[in-house]
Structure 1
């Protein structure tokens, strides 16, 4: 009987393995930390990817719109140049005047590849030095037929001339003083060759593999960085379908070459053409992946140090280490700091492990915050972008924090871009942002709302104080004489105020600031109005 009891106790001992608290806690810490970091990295990657793709879509849409508007302006200017010549030729359609006008049009600007004068019978009467046809010959191209039929200002659809060159003809009719039709003067643009239209479509600020292309109503490529594709027909492409239908916008699309692209698109109103600015999706995701890998490498050494430290102290600690291990699962949550701080680390080893965990967490969140900050900042001016503005407004309103709004718009900024170019326009925007930073308080929130529009949020500022601040800013800008590229410029400002007691939405307050801004512009610009 005694022997059976001893054997039973021995079996019980063999069935209960001896477990070490230290290795178990370390194992739990390692598994929890790895899961936490993987989960956080994946969530951060997905969020950053969504933000980057959304921002690039917005950027490409804005850029396609800018190119489409510039193309519209170019065509309008070309028609105006031809109209001046048509009026002169209507007064005196002699050989000398014809030769003078075609050479003047051809050489005074970079607008046309060639210039010609065609009489009412379709015969070429005079041509510039860049024209492919000899004077005196009858012409029957698509551009000539359309101009003769319409007897009105015309921009022809693209067609192939007698030399096989894809061509656009822009023409103005010629009438004598009594209204008789004499023919027309035409400016020819050879697509795929160097000229002003090619510059407008081909000049962009991208430093990556993004690019712009343009199509006509027949889906024929009018411009493409690959010159060999100019004149070819674009296959199945949702973006091309939409822009040729007259729509504007942005979307992720698989293009006719089978590539995943982020495309912004806008129509050219005067001709029905479409402009598309697009970026390869893989280019942005590869860059984001590279940044995330760098972040992982930066945090790997602190994580390894924590694991070594945990292994060393696991033999000496009990309850505090157990508590740390249990709370390690929550390190990736927003409220993870409070449980760590509440742990009673009453001896040296537990205190060090607790501090190391908190430092690692702070370092990791700092890196994530830096990525988020980049996504909320306008890259040109360094001010908050619209996403950052939304975050700032939410912070103020959630705390029922009264604030005033100053809406700022640069007067005649379109003329700056048209006269000096977009590089000077960008320099002006950066300079204005610098002035705003100089003349703002530390607690003020500065934002670029898009284009040449800016916003300043002034916490705790009354409407009078905000109006005075706006006037100081206006006077300082107006007195500047060294603004890059332009020397002087002025701004118009609108002021409004939001309070929690007013029960007014922030959108209404921002709209009131805009209305005050428009009132300032309507009253002569270079002034401040309050609403």
Structure 2
């Protein structure tokens, strides 16, 4: 009877360790998938900015090489960056790849990019250079909206690449490891280099990822080892991340613990049963706390609670450290990627996504606010006469003037090209017009390198004075800007309905 109870206790504790290890791997895979998701979205944003910049310079012979070089220097995430025209011919590379320049690409990824004309992440394929790659691409359209090709950035799967930086290695050095599979089941990242580019072993985790599911389960790797696997998809790329640990490693602490229990159980009898129960609770307590806190949505609060867990034995301490490292990495990456996703790279002002977030916050607060939309007059002439570098200096200078004439609570945005927008919390419509006019005068007085003086036109509206709907208030400001442009430029116009506009002078 006592032997049966001891054996049952052993099985219960072993199952608890297995379940906690499954949960820890699930959480770890989920955290890594989130980091990778943010990387893919940020990379697509960088390519989108490059495509937009290139669309303005398509008539410049060196524009393609200059832009791909700028993207390559901006980040170490890509092994190479290539510009392709609408016929699928390479027109720019970084680093320089003479063997590709002027050649038509024939890969399935190239054909798909030319056909779909959408941002996409490719399946792995063997490139002309002999490298096994996956590519991220973004279409390029000219100023008239015509398709002009695409920009593509490659990750060389068999060379040191960004996946090594993002994923690192599994925190346990006991046969545990991570691997990444593509949507077609090809291994993109694996601690065994020979496995990269090979079809993944068709186990339960890979099958679940092919259906876009996340979770944790028992599986067997390509060597037939019984593993405890946690897995999560990366929706933006169609990839899946698997973190797994051998079941023998997860349950290894049970051997010495059970031997101690048996030695104490023989002379102590019933007392040993009590000790087993106490030990099982004590062993499970830090694991339960770690698993519970790891599922919390607030990363900062979760880290504080995980630090407070009393991880009194080696495995719990290692698991605690792994969770904390994962949280820190996730917090850092989310912070960097979130900032990049909300700001314009050239001016560091908020972009349209940042404007939407700020507008939602202002609307929720119920605070009135003024809206100023402004546009640099004759900006195309600046680019045509002085070049796009000078144009970029004008854009950056306008942004600096906006900061110099703004309060800390004002919201400054660049909507694209030479268009800007300002939200002025807690001001009247007349005050917003005065701010617009002061900003217009400051920019008119400013001298820009190579260009000299430029002027702006501004449209002003107010929520709720001119419009009780925040989105429509912004449209009113656009209409007022239109009137300022067609009224001669270099002026600020407050939106008024036609019935409210003052009569023309007699």
Report the TM-score, using the length of structure 2 for normalisation. Answer: 0.56
CA deviations 1:394-414 (Å, max 9, x no partner) are: xxxxxxxxxxxxxx974xx4x
Partner in structure 2 of residue 23 of structure 1? none
Runs of 4+ residues over 6 Å off in structure 1 = none
Contact (CA 8 Å) 1:243, 1:267: kept in 2 or not?
yes
Partner in structure 2 of residue 266 of structure 1? 232
| Cα distance in 2, alignment partners of residues 141 and 164 from structure 1 | 12
Contact (CA 8 Å) 1:113, 1:130: kept in 2 or not?
no
Partner in structure 2 of residue 127 of structure 1? 93
Gaps of 5+ in 1: 1-34, 307-327, 333-360, 388-407, 417-424, 435-447, 453-484, 490-521, 525-531
CA deviations 1:90-124 (Å, max 9, x no partner) are: 00122433233212211221211100111111111
Shift of 1:140: 1.5
Q: How does 1:355-366 map to 2 (within 5 A)?
A: 361=271, 365-366=274-275
Partner in structure 2 of residue 227 of structure 1? 193
Q: How does 1:143-292 map to 2 (within 5 A)?
A: 143-292=109-258
Q: Are 1:72 and 2:37 counterparts?
A: yes
Shifted more, 83-92 versus 129-138: the winner is: 129-138
Shift of 1:184: 0.9
Q: Are 1:100 and 2:69 counterparts?
A: no
Q: How does 1:295-310 map to 2 (within 5 A)?
A: 295-296=261-262, 299=264
Contact (CA 8 Å) 2:24, 2:291: kept in 1 or not?
no
Structure number with larger C-alpha Rg:
1
| 1:369 corresponds to which of 271, 278, 284 | 278
Rate the CA distance shift 1:274–1:131 in 2: closer, same or farther, 3 A.
Answer: farther
Q: How does 1:131-530 map to 2 (within 5 A)?
A: 133-296=99-262, 299=264, 331-332=269-270, 361=271, 365-366=274-275, 368-378=277-287, 386=292, 410=298, 413=299, 430=306, 433=308
Contact (CA 8 Å) 2:20, 2:291: kept in 1 or not?
no
Shift of 1:139: 1.7
CA deviations 1:311-330 (Å, max 9, x no partner) are: xxxxxxxxxxxxxxxxx8xx
CA deviations 1:295-314 (Å, max 9, x no partner) are: 445x38xx5xx5xxxxxxxx
Rate the CA distance shift 1:52–1:74 in 2: closer, same or farther, 3 A.
Answer: same
| Cα distance in 1, alignment partners of residues 96 and 177 from structure 2 | 29
Shift of 1:281: 0.8
Tell me the SS of whatever aligns to 2:251: helix
Tell me the SS of whatever aligns to 2:201: coil
Q: Are 1:91 and 2:91 counterparts?
A: no
Shift of 1:235: 3.5
Tell me the SS of whatever aligns to 1:377: helix
Rate the CA distance shift 1:195–1:285 in 2: closer, same or farther, 3 A.
Answer: same
Contact (CA 8 Å) 1:153, 1:171: kept in 2 or not?
yes
Partner in structure 2 of residue 479 of structure 1? none
| Cα distance in 2, alignment partners of residues 87 and 242 from structure 1 | 38
Shift of 1:233: 1.2
CA deviations 1:13-59 (Å, max 9, x no partner) are: xxxxxxxxxxxxxxxxxxxxxx63x3343222111101000111111
| Cα distance in 2, alignment partners of residues 131 and 56 from structure 1 | 47
Rate the CA distance shift 1:429–1:208 in 2: closer, same or farther, 3 A.
Answer: farther
Partner in structure 1 of residue 479 of structure 2? none
Tell me the SS of whatever aligns to 2:286: coil
| Cα distance in 2, alignment partners of residues 177 and 429 from structure 1 | 53
Contact (CA 8 Å) 1:113, 1:195: kept in 2 or not?
yes
Q: What is the number of residues matched between the two proteins?
A: 316
Gaps of 5+ in 2: 310-319, 325-330, 336-363, 367-506
Report the TM-score, using the length of structure 1 for normalisation. Answer: 0.53
CA deviations 1:53-106 (Å, max 9, x no partner) are: 011111111222222222222111111000001000000122433233212211
Partner in structure 1 of residue 492 of structure 2? none
